[in-house]
Structure 1
């Protein structure tokens, strides 16, 4: 059942949540109770004027009744369905679930995200136990001290005719070993507490913590971003934030606000033309465009391995934070052709078919000169578009696992939405 056919169900759920009777809402809307009953059971379409009056009577927005849950919530539930046990989920009724129970849908998506965070925390702790040299050294010190204490105590307990001089030596050794054991145990506890805090401080992963911090700031780095970055809970997240803030500061220095705004207006927002006018790198211009206060553009930056370094989402486009993105993104085409601009119109596969103007560009640098290696990065700037997609538009997804596009030639793994 299409989501827009569930407007009546959302009207009913909203009315029941407010504790209102059908007759009360019908009177406030200026329609009969019987007609409202048909609407609530999705047996009558709702005219625009009636929908506006219903939204007013129910103290909500028209969009909340007409559109229902946002796309990212639907994507989160589809991702939850790929977890063990998710094969029993009725994905063909997902729209109905979102329309009738948006609150429960949000709770389910939130729980899935929290479970993922805890699983990654457990994996991180297991990895530390298995491979961390500091943890291994701490455990070795404790076990060594325990063995020494046990050996000395055994000699004292089992040998009755020890000379006083040797007994004093054994007592001194026992005291020293017990002190060593106490210090080792204290160091081990301190280390484990720090490791647990790093892994379970509610961050899930450093990348997620960085994204939440940026989202809380509105995806801009003005003001005291450098000081706020130091409050992040993990060393990795702080390091990533410092590097991003440093890059932004360098971008602002080379592209100051006044000159940048003037160049943007003169170049009609074209990153290549802005970079040429101001003698800057194209990726710096892309970051300045996307990380301005109130910017509507999205931005994805990757390294030469295709790993996503920066992922600023926009409504309708949410790149995966873990795993690979869609192979059809112009980002990856640009990565193989540095210094060659690539522009494309994108249509997101799925129900809404959100459109974007994508501009991708890759740059290569040689920080260590001729004797060093090439460091390559690519960026893709996304500008939301309105209206109907053109025939030349490229259909893309977020990642194969939750992409509904059938028959995609670039698919690398089956979609959990196959057959729906």
Structure 2
């Protein structure tokens, strides 16, 4: 859209008290043509615009309206907004607004810019809530608490024949729910306050988590490709390390070497692929499960690079590190789908009541590989039990997680110290199960077990991790791990929280950190013996 130069010429001419006929004569054009220019019905530029600027004693940039041109573009964008586009604007309305009321036009532009920024921030917060299960579930707990309080209050208000004992029961429920709601709200505020203060950029690992959460850790394209690759491999022989090694050699020229030193003498890993030499090296101590999985992953990455790239096409990955880690995660997903074909693993899991030890033997896989595959059984209309997944190192730091709707699984740091994922370190290689209850009344079955990387010699340090699956207690009887448990006995539940900083249980003897609430400094159990405001020697 043209800038309203004609209006500016008209206004300037009138301010100088020059008639239209006189200005037209000095410019060497007719008065009627000048009239068309001043009403923005004719374009003006070049030598004529220079002559006009000289006659009106005004800078040509000011007359051409560079600022107004930008303002006009801003208004064009604002008036095209879906909120406004249905209004019956006249064709020249924006140009006239800029020419006749520039301050008002500027105000409209600023308001639209502020509105667009607010919408963008709202979208960003919505994306954060969708991708951050902690914040989402805190809000869900607040809504649940409000609903519970309202329900009890309505009963007290509407039911007139309650006896005194029943009335006291509902009042106690309102008080209890109110206190819990208050604590959850404080934790939510604390979470946002800390995020605002730190303002750290999203880490590559967090971007990978967001990708998996967005896709619900299920990639239909990769599942289909995995079925095709599995069939291709089985046509060459039984699925396993031997057939995979043979196919990698014949199709891609890859040599597989087990044992001996790696090319880099100080290489700390247990396997490595060198594209330059097409060599896949495995440490001599690696397990059969590790070799099978990593060979399947390499075969998938070499045979189906387009499928891996397509799975990441719409992902938000801001750094090369994030893209590299995402490609690794998707490659591992493809390998898992090859080792554990979807329909077969689902049928076998249901048949053995999700007995992971049975499944790992049947598929020559590790405990962690089976557990992670169970989390991905999310195909619409053909779903397994919905599991959450966590992995922790011996220091308690969470190194991998996939959330379960309704269950607060921390993104990083440490979870509740009472969770089975930490207790499993006390009983290595033995599954540990527990029924837990959160402060909002939700109950889950936790199953954890340690996994260790095999060492090659006595001098090597054992590297251990703990992995944990979690499912709603209502699904526990579908698993072998629910057998023998009295799931109706609430007193036997272990009272836990998501993490100390997000837990509302003030009476927990295992608390290691203060809550995120604004009243964290008022703790009676973790505060100083003397109040901060009281100095020794002060009168009491």
For normalisation by structure 1, the TM-score amounts to 0.52
Native 8 Å contact 1:397 1:403 kept in 2: yes
Structure 1 position 372, deviation (Å): 4.4
Structure 1 position 365, deviation (Å): 0.9
Superposition pairs of residues 166-245 of structure 1, within 5 angstroms = 199=201, 204-224=202-222, 226-227=308-309, 228-229=311-312, 231=315, 232-245=317-330
Instruction: Name the SS for the 2:198 alignment partner.
Output: helix
Say whether 1:292 aligns with 2:377.
yes
Q: 1:414 aligns with which of 506, 514, 526?
A: 514
Q: 1:365 aligns with which of 453, 468, 483?
A: 453
* C-alpha distance 332-271 of structure 1, shift in aligned 2 (>3 A): same
Superposition pairs of residues 356-395 of structure 1, within 5 angstroms = 356-366=444-454, 372-386=460-474, 388-395=488-495
Structure 1 CA distance, aligned partners of 2:402 and 2:184?
A: 17
Native 8 Å contact 2:213 2:403 kept in 1: no
**What's the counterpart of residue 398 of structure 2?**
308
**What's the counterpart of residue 183 of structure 1?**
none
Structure 2 CA distance, aligned partners of 1:75 and 1:277?
A: 47
Structure 1 position 242, deviation (Å): 3.0
**What's the counterpart of residue 90 of structure 2?**
none
* C-alpha distance 260-367 of structure 1, shift in aligned 2 (>3 A): farther
Superposition pairs of residues 37-76 of structure 1, within 5 angstroms = 43-44=157-158
Structure 2 CA distance, aligned partners of 1:6 and 1:296?
A: 30
CA deviation digits over 1:105-150, x for unaligned, max 9?
Answer: xxxxxxx38x8278343xxxxxxxxxxxxxxxxxxxxxxxxxxxxx
Structure 1 CA distance, aligned partners of 2:334 and 2:513?
A: 40
Report the count of equivalent residues. Answer: 252
CA deviation digits over 1:13-44, x for unaligned, max 9?
Answer: xxxxxxxxxxxxxxxxxxxxxxxxx96x9833
Superposition pairs of residues 11-90 of structure 1, within 5 angstroms = 43-44=157-158, 77-82=185-190
Instruction: Name the SS for the 1:311 alignment partner.
Output: strand
Native 8 Å contact 1:5 1:42 kept in 2: no
Superposition pairs of residues 206-355 of structure 1, within 5 angstroms = 206-224=204-222, 226-227=308-309, 228-229=311-312, 231=315, 232-293=317-378, 294=383, 296-348=386-438, 350=439, 352-355=440-443
Structure 2 CA distance, aligned partners of 1:76 and 1:321?
A: 18
Structure 2 CA distance, aligned partners of 1:399 and 1:77?
A: 16
Instruction: Name the SS for the 2:491 alignment partner.
Output: coil
**What's the counterpart of residue 62 of structure 2?**
none
Structure 1 position 213, deviation (Å): 1.1
Structure 1 position 367, deviation (Å): 6.8
Structure 1 position 357, deviation (Å): 1.1
Structure 1 position 353, deviation (Å): 1.3
Native 8 Å contact 1:299 1:312 kept in 2: yes
Structure 2 CA distance, aligned partners of 1:296 and 1:288?
A: 11
Say whether 1:116 aligns with 2:203.
no
Instruction: Name the SS for the 1:82 alignment partner.
Output: helix
Structure 1 CA distance, aligned partners of 2:326 and 2:489?
A: 37
* C-alpha distance 120-374 of structure 1, shift in aligned 2 (>3 A): farther
Structure 1 position 269, deviation (Å): 1.3
Native 8 Å contact 1:120 1:205 kept in 2: no
**What's the counterpart of residue 26 of structure 1?**
none
* C-alpha distance 381-291 of structure 1, shift in aligned 2 (>3 A): same
Instruction: Name the SS for the 2:212 alignment partner.
Output: helix
Native 8 Å contact 2:390 2:400 kept in 1: yes
Native 8 Å contact 2:184 2:504 kept in 1: no
Instruction: Name the SS for the 1:306 alignment partner.
Output: coil
Native 8 Å contact 1:362 1:376 kept in 2: yes
Structure 1 position 400, deviation (Å): 0.7
Structure 2 CA distance, aligned partners of 1:377 and 1:401?
A: 23
Native 8 Å contact 1:75 1:402 kept in 2: no
Structure 1 position 373, deviation (Å): 4.0
CA RMSD of aligned residues (A): 3.6
* C-alpha distance 119-368 of structure 1, shift in aligned 2 (>3 A): farther
Q: Which is greater in Rg? A: 2
Superposition pairs of residues 119-134 of structure 1, within 5 angstroms = 119-121=198-200
